[in-house]
Amino acid sequence: MSAINEQFSDNPMTNIFGLVSGTPTETQFPSGTAKLLRFKADPNNNEVFKIGIWGTTAPSWPMSAGDDTGWFAPPTTDGNTRGLQDYSHSNVSGSAEQLHYWLQK
């Protein structure tokens, strides 16, 4: 992780880590703007998490146990950078499953 921050040593990034539990209905992530974002499904999950764009019918991305999106820069829409709150998650098995998120801002 330090290598990522060193690349921006003139303006160090702030790291924010979080965890959400599964829910059978689409749920919005907490609020948080990000320059870089990453999701990782817990390696002990038995079911698939789905990540989507909140408030749209866009297809969701399935994440099996241990899947990792890697770093990505949230896209911009209408000149505004997407934040964590612009994404949603769901999981058919409910609260036993977990999804980790990591923001750098």
pTM attached to this predicted model: 0.79
In the chain the domains, ranked by start, together with CATH numbers, are 16-104 (2.60.120)
Q: So what's the pLDDT on residue 38? A: 93
Mean pLDDT score, 58-82: 82
Place of tokens 């866009």: 58
> Side by side, which strands form the sheet with 87-91?
27-28, 87-91, 49-53, 61-63
CA angle, 38 as apex, 35 and 39 as ends, to 5°?
Answer: 145
Does the pLDDT of residue 46 top 80, yes or no?
Answer: yes
Two structure tokens written together for 75: 């896209």
Q: How does residue 101 score in pLDDT terms, banded at 50, 70 and 90?
A: very high
Does the pLDDT of residue 99 top 80, yes or no?
Answer: yes
